[in-house]
Chains A and B, each alone.
Chain A
Amino acid sequence: MRTLMWVGWTNLRRDRVAQALTFLLPIVFFSIFASVFGGQGDAATARIRIAVVDEDHSEVSARLIEGLRTEKSLRTQTTADASGSGAVLDRAAAERLVRDGDVPVAVVIPAGLGAAFSTNGFAGGGPPVQLLSDVSDRIAPQMVLGLLQKVAMTAAPDLLMQGGMRQFEKYAGAMTPQQKTAVDQWLPQLKAQGQAGGGGSAPASGAMPITVDVVDVMRTDNRRGSLISFYAAGIGVMFLLFSSVAGAGGALLDEAETGTLERLLSTNTGMTGVLVGKWILLALIGCLQLTVMFLWGRVAFGLPLFSHLPGFGVMTLFTAAAAAALGLVLASLAKSRAQLSGFSTILILTMSALGGSMFPRFLMSEGMQKVGLLTFNAWALDGYLKVFWRHAAIWQLWPQLLVLTALTGVFLSLARLLARRWEAA
């Protein structure tokens, strides 16, 4: 027993890969996941970008906009450019921002809201505020809705009070001069309180001064399908990477080990030919893998595949090509199958966590969203989401396709460079 323990411990002491997998890998993963998921409650995380359209141009609408601006969990823009420049947003421009995925929600304050607010107070009754949203993102509209109600209650308490008094006098009779004087003296305090940022909490539902309509600008007929497409793409891309690495490992490392690579290099093919042949095959297998996954999504979960076939086809082709090239880089870099398996698992899971395969990037902090753009997954997923959520035309996928093409080129060049070690010493 003691001897066996000694042998096991000595093996572990002398095996750096085993040490890394035992002690380092858990720490690395813990750090990554803590960074991605642990910062959700921080002030710096998950600020929802919203566009606001003021069709009312009243004091109430101005106060509402100001109230939304002061909300820490929102980043409000009222002009075409998020930095504050450009034309003032109208409904069409705001809808475009949502449809293009630039903001998840746009708030449209309709004409007449201020008048109704001042007249009716808590009784409401004015035209409804519209939330133009991409309902595939279920979290952002709900958050904005709650914050909007809060702001309505706290941003203009004096106007709300005035409206309430009018309603009171309408149904209970006019107030006495002393009562009016008391209310008039109180109103400035309420106004100051509202301008100071409210501080009050949203009232219980049922006593809202404004009504809100949520409008799905994507006009999707299958919300569930949109979410399914997100998971299909996220999981699909992650496993595409795993299978590409495994395939490339089999293609290069196993062949080098068994001697078939040596034999291949002695034919007319050459290393470039070997790599290109392996890359094309891996890319085609990747296409097939993603197609099978999305087809299963269509059959089992109603994923709207057939209505998005061209976009799906293009994204799948470019994604599989880049994944195959990445697989060849990792296989060319590794000295053995065990080494490849170790570091590719770390890399793929890290890229998947940061790139949104496990958790939507739009729910991450802005910093993490930017970091995510360094990963292969983020660009692939953005492309798929454009296709399935935003019904983007193929030409609108150009940023994602450009990045994936560039990555493919870089990966292939790197793989060719690294593969020189098999050619000649």
Chain B
Amino acid sequence: MNVLSVRDARKRFGNVAALNGATFELRHGELLALLGPNGAGKTTLIRAITGRVRLDGGEIQLFDRVLDGRRTAPELGIVPQEIALYPLLTARENLEAFGGLHGLTGKDLAQRVDWALEGIGLLDRATDLVKQFSGGMRRRLNIACGVLHRPRVVLLDEPTVGVDPQSRDRIYDMLAELAQSGVSLLLTTHHLEEAEARCSRTVIIDHGKVIAAGTMSELVDQTVGRFRLVTLRLDAPLDGETAFKVAGRTNGSGVDGDGRVLKARMQDVASELPPLLDCIRTAGRAVDDVEVRGPSLQSVFIHLTGRELRE
């Protein structure tokens, strides 16, 4: 079931078309990654959903209700990229302030604040000033402030930028818990491996329009195809004749560096790798290390958006 639908969203700023017919859906309880190069239109899209940007064309539906683009819908929770917290308030005071502004009061507010502090692992630092927190602690609190009021849809703009791997794991655990409880989450990120590992679907946007959307396997099928890259590290360099033989057995193989690293593209590793290993053994070489890598979101992303630098 779609909770959020963006259809043919268009927005121009002067001569620049920030959104040029973007269309995608966010489903119930999913964690959807919105990816795109710098200037692709991600932030404009998020701001349009939150009511900070009025579309020139198209529409945005939230729970089958068309958003008017003036106010933020109450079902939405916003987690901005900036650390949008009051540094001279404590963690608890920040949560109380934003919870209060979202209409939470009394016991309900206190319970939600405790829930949030526990969820982000800051219960023991609840009375410390935010300015004393590390980057990761602030990021976690930043997210907690955006989900405190039980939003059904949460928009997160680069929620893990500038934090260490431990904090990043904690943040994604939080998001996964929210998704499991039925909250739908849309996040923008430049960490492609995170999106690949943690998000159920991915939407790639470029030049203001969605150029691909789907699960990782769907994106791979749509773009780079299902090959595997196999890398073999040998104990000694291959001679020219053997290297030629190996190349003939694989699709697009090559020998790197000092002749000890062999790379080969394989559609079916199980059937193609054993003959290659036999060939190497016959040539009197031993294999020290084998690495098999499937297509990554990185390769899909580069395939779709190109290697050209964006401003």
Chain A residues packing against B (C-beta within 8 Å): 257-260, 262-270, 423-425
Q: Say what secondary structure dominates the interface of chain A.
A: helix
Interface size class of B (residues with CB under 8 A): 20 to 34
Also in contact, A425 and B83, with CB within 8 A (given A266-B72, A269-B101, A270-B71): no
Q: Say what secondary structure dominates the interface of chain B.
A: loop
When the two chains form their complex, are residues B83 and A258 in contact, meaning their CB atoms are under 8 A apart?
yes
How distant is the Cα of A267 from the Cα of B77 in the complex, in angstroms? 9
Q: Does B190 contact A (CB under 8 A)?
A: no
CB distance from B155 to the nearest CB of A (A): 9
When the two chains form their complex, are residues B101 and A424 in contact, meaning their CB atoms are under 8 A apart?
no
When the two chains form their complex, are residues B98 and A267 in contact, meaning their CB atoms are under 8 A apart?
yes
When the two chains form their complex, are residues B52 and A423 in contact, meaning their CB atoms are under 8 A apart?
yes
When the two chains form their complex, are residues A425 and B86 in contact, meaning their CB atoms are under 8 A apart?
no
Set of chain A residues within 8 Å of B81, measured between Cβ atoms: 259
Also in contact, A266 and B76, with CB within 8 A (given A424-B53, A424-B69): yes
CB distance from B215 to the nearest CB of A (A): 30
CB distance from A411 to the nearest CB of B (A): 24
How distant is the Cα of A262 from the Cα of B84 in the complex, in angstroms? 8
How distant is the Cα of A345 from the Cα of B62 in the complex, in angstroms? 46
CB distance from A157 to the nearest CB of B (A): 77
Set of chain B residues within 8 Å of A260, measured between Cβ atoms: 84-86
When the two chains form their complex, are residues A265 and B52 in contact, meaning their CB atoms are under 8 A apart?
yes
When the two chains form their complex, are residues B80 and A425 in contact, meaning their CB atoms are under 8 A apart?
no
How distant is the Cα of A236 from the Cα of B183 in the complex, in angstroms? 53
When the two chains form their complex, are residues A262 and B54 in contact, meaning their CB atoms are under 8 A apart?
no
How distant is the Cα of A269 from the Cα of B71 in the complex, in angstroms? 10
When the two chains form their complex, are residues A259 and B52 in contact, meaning their CB atoms are under 8 A apart?
no
Which chain B residues in 29-82 approach chain A with CB under 8 Å? 47, 50-54, 69-72, 74, 76, 78, 80-82
CB distance from A253 to the nearest CB of B (A): 14
Q: Pick the 4 closest A-B CB pairs, nearest first.
A: A259-B82, A259-B84, A267-B101, A266-B72
CB distance from B31 to the nearest CB of A (A): 20
Set of chain A residues within 8 Å of B51, measured between Cβ atoms: 266, 424
When the two chains form their complex, are residues A263 and B84 in contact, meaning their CB atoms are under 8 A apart?
yes
When the two chains form their complex, are residues A268 and B82 in contact, meaning their CB atoms are under 8 A apart?
no
When the two chains form their complex, are residues A262 and B146 in contact, meaning their CB atoms are under 8 A apart?
no
Of B70, B84, B98, B103, the contact of A424 (CB 8 Å cutoff): B70
When the two chains form their complex, are residues B102 and A268 in contact, meaning their CB atoms are under 8 A apart?
yes
When the two chains form their complex, are residues A425 and B101 in contact, meaning their CB atoms are under 8 A apart?
no
How distant is the Cα of A262 from the Cα of B83 in the complex, in angstroms? 11
Q: Does B145 contact A (CB under 8 A)?
A: yes
Set of chain B residues within 8 Å of A262, measured between Cβ atoms: 50, 52, 78, 80, 82, 84
